[in-house]
Structure 1
Amino acid sequence: MKPIISYVIVIALTLFAGWFLFGKKTFNEVSEITNDAAITKIQAIGKLELVQINIKDVLEYTIKRDYLPDSRMLIMVNGEMAGCVDLQKIAEENITETKDTLFIKLPAPEVCYTKINHSKSKVYNASTFSWLDDETQMVESLYKKADAYFSSDSIKTIIVAETKKNAPTILVPLLENISNKKVILRYE
């Protein structure tokens, strides 16, 4: 009698363990995500984007240690910037015309936006100690450094210069076709 009870207990435990390990996977689980968005603000911009610049920046983060090997992370950050002219700032006094020429004084070019494209950025090399280093903090620190570089004055100067250079290429033919006059652009 005792061997039968022990066999029944072993079989019951085996069935329970089998159901616990493999049986749960047969149940269908349905994930549901709801999204309730509301428009909070609509704003007329009036900025004409004239140039877009893509930059790849390679950054290295190193933690030097005296007694343990150094930790190192290499990341390539892909950034995108755009230069534009705010057409809402053009007043009537900024436009003068003669018989055959139209003079337009444009506002100073500006940076529309700078952003990091996370989907195109990539960590290439990470030699860290999981129990000593916080890789998430290292990556976040590198992204902050790249964002500071993309927002720096040197990059802004490049964007503004490229926007100034590109504005006549885009605007002059358009305005000449509309006005049937020669167009000369100037900046404030």
Structure 2
Amino acid sequence: MDTSPSLLERLNHHPDAADWRRWYDLYTPLIRNWLGGLGLRFADVEDLVQDVLAVVVRRLPEFRHNARVGAFRKWLRGITVNCLREHLRAGKQCPVAADQAVLAERLDQLADEQSSMSQQWDAEHDRLVMRKLLEQVRATVEPTTWDVFEQFALNGRSAAQVAQQFRISTNAVFIAKSRVLQKLRQEAAGLIE
């Protein structure tokens, strides 16, 4: 059986509207949340989200993962920072809680992959993308398979407890978990490390 390529691979080689929609649904909330967290006006956030998305669409074919941990989220963070800097250079006003100097400091922190702000970006990225991937995968499996997976893998119940609850064998519990995890791994390849 052929393994389905990851979302990033599909977008790089054979993108279709559904793949771009999935990417948009995964990443737009993260980008919007981060830009909004900098104290920007709603209209500026929305403009910047569109700028970031346009750069991603244009530059994704240039992205090479090379098995580096965090490569994609670092690349996306860099695009987000650069789009905001360009927005400011263009003379667009982006009021923040304090002033432009505070925004410049935050941008420098976000650009520094060792800063606590970048580490917070990474953690939020992984948390949000995993939540969205779980939602997407849930829609592709049988409801009972998902319920078994959720009870066993996400809620930490024992295989015996889940088997008893759903009146299935413990082996069926492990199979359900395996099927869902396989779908998650396929979709998460390169997105979460």
TM-score by length of 1: 0.33
Higher strand share: 1
Computing the radius of gyration from Cα coordinates, the structure with the larger value is 1
Q: TM-score, normalised by structure 2?
A: 0.32
- Bigger RCO (CA 8 Å, 6+ sep): 2
